[in-house]
Amino acid sequence: MKRVDLYFSTKLTFDDYVHNHSFALRVIPPETECQNLLSCSLNIQPYVRTDQTIDAFGNNVTAGYLSGEHRFLDFEIKGTAEVDQTKFRTDYMPCYLYQSQYTKPGVSLNAFYSEVKGKCAGSPSERAEALCNALSDVMCYEKGATDITTTAEQAFVLKKGVCQDFSHILISLLRMDGIAARYIAGLAFCDGETHSWVEFWTGDHWEGIDPANNCPVNNDYIVISQGRDFRDCAIDRGVMFGKYTRQLQLVRSILT
Amino acid sequence: MGTISLEHSDRLYWLGRYTERFFTTLKALGNLYDSMLEEKHGYQDYLDCFGLADTYSDSREFIRSFLFDMQNPNSAAYSLERAYDNGIVLREEISTSSLSFLQMAKDTLSKARQSDNIRMSLLPLEDTLYSFWGCINEHIFDDEIRNIIYIGKTVERLDLYIRLKYPFAQVEKEFIRLCKNLNRVPKGTPYRYSTKYLSTLVEILGTESNYQNESLQATAALAHLFEPAEVSL
Amino acid sequence: MVQFQERQFMQAVGNAGEINELLRRYGVKFGIYKNGVFHEQFFPFDPIPRVISAVDFASIEKGLVQRVNALNEFLFDIYHEKHIVHDGVIPEDFIYISKGYLAECEGITPKNKIYSHISGIDLVQAKDGEWYILEDNLRIPSGASYPLIARELTRIAAPQAFKENKIVDNRGYAELLKETMEYANCGGIRAILTPGRYNAAYFEHSYLAELTGSVLVQNDELFVEDNILYHRTYSGGKTRIGVLYRRISDEYLDPLTFLPESLIGIPNLMEAYRSGNVGIVNAPGNGVADDKGIYYFVPKMIKYYLGEEPILKNAPTYLPFYEEDRQYVMDKLEKLVIKDVSEAGGYGVVFGSDLTKDKLEGFRKTIAAEPRRFIAQEVIDFLDLPIVDNGETVMRKADLRAFVLSGEKTKVWASGLTRFSRNPDSFVVNSSQGGGFKDTWVLSR
């Protein structure tokens, strides 16, 4: 068990005034068997009333509506949590066994899987480790080569990507191998932005694995949201009206 | 029901305007046709009222274009089509019956195109249009909704009467009608008039001599009275 | 029976011109895109009604209520405990590969546990008189407005037919729909959400709004604030919406939950819905139950959830997914009708008898590669119905879309939309493919 302080902030700045802005944030970490929130506060500017719901994947959703003109939306969470990865999460959903929008394999991922599946044997943990190793051998961590719309197949063709791409590819491989897997968005040490990793189903609980760093997940990781892929875990989604709605996003996170 | 969106309120306003534009155009063309029986090329007066150039080879071509040509934005057919466009999205406010009269008017107009005696075959349109207005009156329970259509109707009629240089007595009557309609508009809604332009209108339409001399200013003030954007298609 | 139909036919035909005139006048239209251009077409109406006897209807009614009740139980089960999968009645794959299954809807319980408030069940009658279910439509089945207005008009044009026969009045549909919407209402006004005037079924949206006294709305008039759905009024105020009969598909409903690029959705509608602050008719996620692949399992659902024998039969169906069915499908492909489970509106339906030898072979390969994508059915020997074509009576294929409304009780509308194919060689009756419609008379004795 480890006690950590978490801080995460996002600043959205628009090129011009916007209005009738609906948003849904997935930023408040869920309470799970492995993480206990001792305190957590969410601060949003400009002032707006919000409502909390929990979505189908168990994420905390903060929904709000800003009708008046505004040029920015800032939000930050501050809190303290106890993390204990020796405990097990068991919130299984069958949809995690099936490929989703970002993870659907194409020709190259299918070919890669056929190549490496011979090395996959044993328990789900052993197979996950083998797939993660195989992936680390061919993929190169590089910022700027991909963006948030890049699918597992596209990133795999490039052989480059960031944590989001590594996660999508590993999820795709695990699902091809018949192992249920889900995407995790969260905070980790030594990372100034949000991080993402993967959980796979061992048969009776979830086990975390970080494909971008090719290591298991320990008490230095805090889960913010989970889902089939990035689409279910977007930190913020919004719809707004205005002449120019292009936005600049600044993200900062600290885990100590 | 008691809830109406901005989009629908605009549609109601333009339904009133285009239906009236159709009807007044039809009547004005009827009068013109009648007076042209003796005089040749009388239709230029009509074009002058709207500042339009004469591109027609004869009065027959002019009449056919202003009645039936969907490409001519000043034609009766064009106005009716726009009235229908606005009406079709207002079925639950104005009722299927009201809408059916616009459909009938469309059918009558397109049949008249093939007729040997156009004026004769257009006669039933008068019945249809009066039925439409009767139906609107009958079916719309909410005075606020009905009033928006009537404001559109009266604004349009006043505008055309001024442009077509109708006698002062007739224009004055329509202006009083418009003021009555405007008085019924609740505060804080888009069809609340601009007081500045209303007082301009009061001044110009207050005396016959002002009306004769300043009709252009009057139509300009009328155009600015609400300045609601026309709902694009 | 046949004699009876002939007599009705003579009576109604005498007034065909008048009815069509009236239909034109009331603007009974549907929109269609041809080569990218929008056209409004009058839905071809045939004056000869389909007549269903009271005895026949009673049995259809019982069967439909049973089927829709089971489908509603299934939807609740799938989005909660999934007993039917755990008990091995339906293989897991069929649920989770289905495009209609929406994981985003997991755990949501709509008011009164009703998912399919308005179900459109397509049936055909075979030559031997037996009725078969062709397809369930539990998302946004359309078409009820056409027989509704046609009846209103035929009663004017052919009064004697209604005087001499005991025909159940179908004009209660509006009241039935209103009741159904009210039962799903979470507090507020009733609204019908349309994608707009250029939607194929716009006439229906606006006509049903008028008849049920609902507000017809588009997405830009709506917003979610404090987890409540509001209608934005022209004076700058807001009116709470308690139930939304939406006529847009699931994936476009809420850009913050489903397709982010949707321009016709309402952001955060799903949060308001999940919180129980607004009813959505029909519930999002219903596509998992009317999937062509799930169709095969509906009779099993009826036994599983209700412990009853199915009253109405499915058309004999094979799933290439199952080894033994696949063999049969491969052997008899030229005699079967193959349906692509991901297509709707009469698209993706192929008759084996229409294919050349090469094409049959190609199709066998496609099926072998993606067995889950297809179902195969025996071609039912339809009972053709008479229609008037240029003054002549000809026989054409027709189906029946029955409307089942689930409120406090599950009720079957004593009418329905009979669609027919105008092409003598075609089995496809969809309006988007040039079909026409008839009124459906249910006799009260």
Model confidence over B65-75: pLDDT tens digits? 999 999 999 99
Question: In whole angstroms, how far apart are CA B164 and each of A147, B28, B152, B161, B174?
Answer: 63, 8, 18, 5, 14
Contact C/A (≥3 CB pairs under 8 Å): yes
Work out the minimum CA distance from C93 to partner chain A, whole angstroms.
9
Helix axes C145-157, C16-25, angle to 10 degrees: 130
Q: A144 by DSSP, 3-state: which?
A: coil
pLDDT for res C427: 67
C233 Cβ under 8 Å from any chain B Cβ: yes
Tokens of A162: 């960031």
Question: In whole angstroms, how far apart are CA C349 and each of A11, C132, C341, C375?
Answer: 51, 18, 9, 10
Distance between first and last Cα of chain A: 14
CA pair distance C86, C70, nearest whole angstrom: 17
Q: What is the mean pLDDT of chain C?
A: 89
Domain residues for C105? 2-309+381-442
What are the pLDDT digits (tens) for C380-398? 888 899 988 877 889 999 9
Q: Please list the residues that pair with C162 across neighbouring strands.
A: none
Chain A residues near residue C267 by CB distance under 8 angstroms: 22-24, 238-239
Tokens of C313: 């039969």
pLDDT for res C200: 85
Select the residue of C101, C271, C275 nearest A24 (Cβ to Cβ). Answer: C271
pLDDT for res B64: 93
Tokens of C72: 């509603």
In terms of domains, do C436 and C324 share one? no
Nearest-CA residue of chain B relative to C240? B3
B202 Cβ under 8 Å from any chain C Cβ: no
Q: Is residue B199 part of a domain?
A: no
What are the pLDDT digits (tens) for C400-437? 999 999 999 999 999 999 999 888 877 666 666 668 89
Tokens of B4: 């109406």
pLDDT for res C391: 77
Q: Is residue B197 part of a domain?
A: no
Question: In whole angstroms, how far apart are CA B146 and each of A162, B93, C217?
Answer: 61, 9, 19
Select the residue of B96, B104, B188 nearest C207 (Cβ to Cβ). Answer: B96
Q: What is the mean pLDDT of chain B?
A: 89
Chain C touching partners, 3 or more CB pairs below 8 A: A, B
Q: Is residue B156 part of a domain?
A: yes
A93 Cβ under 8 Å from any chain C Cβ: yes
Q: Is there a contact between A128 and A209 (Cβ–Cβ < 8 Å)?
A: yes
B95 Cβ under 8 Å from any chain C Cβ: yes
The domain A2-85+234-255 is placed in CATH, from the list 3.30.70.1450, 3.40.1030.10, 2.50.20.10, 2.60.40.2250, at 2.60.40.2250
In terms of domains, do C205 and C337 share one? no
User: Considering chain C, what percentage of its residues have pLDDT values greater than 70?
Assistant: 93
Number of A:C CB contacts under 8 A?
Answer: 73
Select the residue of C85, C108, C268 nearest A63 (Cβ to Cβ). Answer: C268
pLDDT for res A32: 95
pLDDT exceeds cutoff 90 at C27:
no
Contact B/A (≥3 CB pairs under 8 Å): no
B6 pLDDT tier (thresholds 50, 70, 90): confident
Q: Is there a contact between C397 and C427 (Cβ–Cβ < 8 Å)?
A: yes
C198 pLDDT tier (thresholds 50, 70, 90): confident
Tokens of A231: 């689409």
Domain residues for B116? 6-166
Comparing C-alpha atoms, which of C298, C230, C232, C247 is closest to residue C94?
C298
In terms of domains, do C364 and C399 share one? no
pLDDT exceeds cutoff 80 at C17:
no
Q: Please list the residues that pair with B157 across neighbouring strands.
A: none
Chain C residues near residue A24 by CB distance under 8 angstroms: 256-257, 267-268, 271
C207 Cβ under 8 Å from any chain B Cβ: yes
Q: Is there a contact between C277 and C224 (Cβ–Cβ < 8 Å)?
A: no
Give span(s): CATH 2.60.40.2250, chain A.
2-85+234-255
Query: Is the Cα dihedral C384, C388, C389, C393 positive or negative?
Result: positive
Select the residue of A51, A57, A232 nearest C227 (Cβ to Cβ). Answer: A51
Work out the minimum CA distance from C295 to partner chain A, whole angstroms.
21
Q: Is residue B188 part of a domain?
A: no
Q: Is residue B126 part of a domain?
A: yes
In terms of domains, do C114 and C211 share one? yes
pLDDT exceeds cutoff 60 at C9:
no
Select the residue of C24, C197, C220 nearest B89 (Cβ to Cβ). Answer: C197
Best mutation target, C84, C229, C271, C275, to test chain A (most A CBs within 10 A): C271
Q: Please list the residues that pair with C232 across neighbouring strands.
A: C238
CA pair distance C50, C170, nearest whole angstrom: 14
**Residue partners of C67: CB distance under 8 A and separation at least 6:** C121, C133, C136, C298, C302, C310, C312, C404
Whether residues A24 and C107 touch (CB distance < 8 A) is answered with no
Whether residues B7 and C221 touch (CB distance < 8 A) is answered with yes
Per-residue H/E/C for chain C: CHHHHHHHHHHHHCCHHHHHHHHHHCCCEEEEEECCEEEEEECCEEEEEEEECHHHHHHHHHHHHHHHHHHHHHHHHHCCCCHHHHCCCCCHHHHHCCCCCCHHHCCCCCHHHCCCCEEEEEEEEECCCCEEEEEEECCCCCCCHHHHHHHHHHHHHCHHHHHHCCECCCCCHHHHHHHHHHHCCCCCEEEEECCCCCCCCHHHHHHHHHHHCCEEECHHHEEEECCEEEEECCCCCEEEEEEEEECCCHHHCCCCCCCCCCCCCCCCHHHHHHCCCCEEECCCCCHHHHCHHHHCCHHHHHHHHHCCCCCCEECCEECCCCHHHHHHHHHHHHHEEEEECCCCCCCCEEEHHHCCHHHHHHHHHHHHHCHHHEEEEECCCECCEEEEECCEEEEECEEEEEEEEECCCEEECCCCEEEECCCCCCCCCCHHHCCEEEEEEEECC
Q: Is residue B153 part of a domain?
A: yes
Chain A touching partners, 3 or more CB pairs below 8 A: C
B186 Cβ under 8 Å from any chain C Cβ: yes
A228 Cβ under 8 Å from any chain C Cβ: yes
Whether omega before B181 lies within 30 degrees of 0, making that bond cis, reads no
C332 pLDDT tier (thresholds 50, 70, 90): very high
**Residue partners of A114: CB distance under 8 A and separation at least 6:** none
Q: Is residue B176 part of a domain?
A: no
CA pair distance B87, B14, nearest whole angstrom: 9
Whether residues A239 and C103 touch (CB distance < 8 A) is answered with no
A52 Cβ under 8 Å from any chain C Cβ: no
Whether residues C108 and A56 touch (CB distance < 8 A) is answered with yes
Work out the minimum CA distance from A230 to partner chain C, whole angstroms.
13
How many distinct structural domains can be found in chain B?
1
In terms of domains, do C41 and C115 share one? yes
What are the pLDDT digits (tens) for C80-134? 999 999 999 999 988 998 889 999 999 999 999 999 999 999 999 999 899 999 9
CA pair distance A249, A75, nearest whole angstrom: 11
* Positions of chain A with pLDDT lower than 50, given as ranges: none
Whether residues A24 and C97 touch (CB distance < 8 A) is answered with no
In terms of domains, do C257 and C385 share one? yes
Q: A220 by DSSP, 3-state: which?
A: coil
pLDDT for res A147: 92
CA pair distance A80, A102, nearest whole angstrom: 32
The domain A94-233 is placed in CATH, from the list 2.60.40.10, 1.10.8.420, 1.10.230.10, 3.10.620.30, at 3.10.620.30
Nearest-CA residue of chain A relative to C220? A20
Contact B/C (≥3 CB pairs under 8 Å): yes
B1 pLDDT tier (thresholds 50, 70, 90): very low
Last residue of a domain, one of C357, C378, C399: C378
In terms of domains, do C329 and C433 share one? no
B232 pLDDT tier (thresholds 50, 70, 90): very low
C445 pLDDT tier (thresholds 50, 70, 90): confident
In terms of domains, do C10 and C116 share one? yes
In terms of domains, do C253 and C320 share one? no
B232 Cβ under 8 Å from any chain C Cβ: no
Quote the pTM value: 0.90
A55 Cβ under 8 Å from any chain C Cβ: yes
C216 Cβ under 8 Å from any chain B Cβ: yes
What are the pLDDT digits (tens) for A60-119? 999 999 999 999 999 999 999 999 999 999 999 999 999 999 999 999 999 999 999 988
Q: A214 by DSSP, 3-state: which?
A: coil
Chain B touching partners, 3 or more CB pairs below 8 A: C
How many distinct structural domains can be found in chain C?
2
CA pair distance B121, B113, nearest whole angstrom: 9
Q: Is residue B178 part of a domain?
A: no
Average pLDDT over residues B95-121: 92
